């Protein structure tokens, strides 16, 4: 009788250990998935950042800003500049889709790009209007508009939004 009770206790203890090990395996699997997702987001952000910082996309971004400021006319349809502007806004449209689908973290994108995105909005709106005027029956760059809107009121904890420009810390290499 005592042996049977001991065997039953051992079996119960063994079952509890098996359940604990299985639960630990599930927790470790979830942690692995989370770590892999973060690594994938970092890699995707790095790749997007490389594209956004390319000479061509930078040139297109500044052209969009100039158009919005009234410093440059919207180029004629079919010109190299017209296609450059469309490619540039297409890249930002893709970035906006990545943000919406959480491929890249929204906070990272807005922390880094909120000022350029704010500056691009008027030019992007003028270019979208031009597309409608030349016969498109849909608004181009459908993902982009939500990202531009998010950038409008965005403020980061970074010095660009927390310190006046004339009081920002000087970089260590700046002279007296």
pTM, 2 dp: 0.77
pLDDT tens, position by position, 120-147 = 999 999 999 999 998 888 889 999 999 9
Interatomic CA distance for residues 23 and 17, integer angstroms: 10
Q: Could you report the per-residue pLDDT of 7-34, keeping only the tens digit for each?
A: 777 778 788 888 888 888 888 888 888 8
Give the contacts of 36 (CB within 8 A, at least 6 positions apart).
Answer: none
Residue 7 domain-assigned?
Answer: no
Please tell me the total count of domains within the chain. 1
Q: Could you list the residue range(s) of the whole structural domain that residue 93 is in? A: 41-155
Residue 72 φ then ψ, to 5°: -150, 140
pLDDT in tens, 93-105: 999 999 999 999 9
* Percentage helix, strand, coil for the chain under 3-state DSSP, each rounded to 5: 75, 0, 25
**Residue 12 belongs to some domain of the structure:** no
> Is 80 a domain residue?
yes
**Per-position b or e across 91-105, b if 16+ CB within 10 A of its CB:** bbbbbbbbbeeebbb
């Amino acid at each position: 009788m005592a042996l049977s009770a001991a065997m039953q206790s051992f079996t119960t203890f063994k079952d509890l250990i098996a359940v604990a090990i299985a639960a630990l395996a599930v927790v470790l699997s979830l942690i692995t998935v989370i770590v892999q997702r973060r690594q994938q987001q970092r890699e995707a952000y790095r790749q997007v950042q490389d594209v956004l910082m390319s000479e061509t996309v930078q040139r297109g971004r500044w052209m969009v800003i100039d158009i919005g400021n009234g410093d440059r006319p919207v180029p004629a349809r079919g010109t190299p500049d017209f296609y450059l502007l469309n490619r540039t806004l297409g890249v930002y449209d893709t970035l906006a889709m990545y943000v919406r689908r959480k491929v890249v973290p929204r906070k990272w994108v807005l922390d880094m790009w909120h000022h350029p995105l704010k500056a691009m909005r008027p030019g992007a709106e003028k270019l979208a209007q031009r597309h409608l005027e030349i016969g498109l029956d849909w608004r181009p760059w459908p993902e982009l508009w939500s990202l531009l809107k998010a950038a409008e009121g965005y403020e980061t904890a970074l010095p660009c939004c927390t310190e006046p420009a004339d009081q920002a810390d000087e970089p260590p290499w700046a002279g007296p």
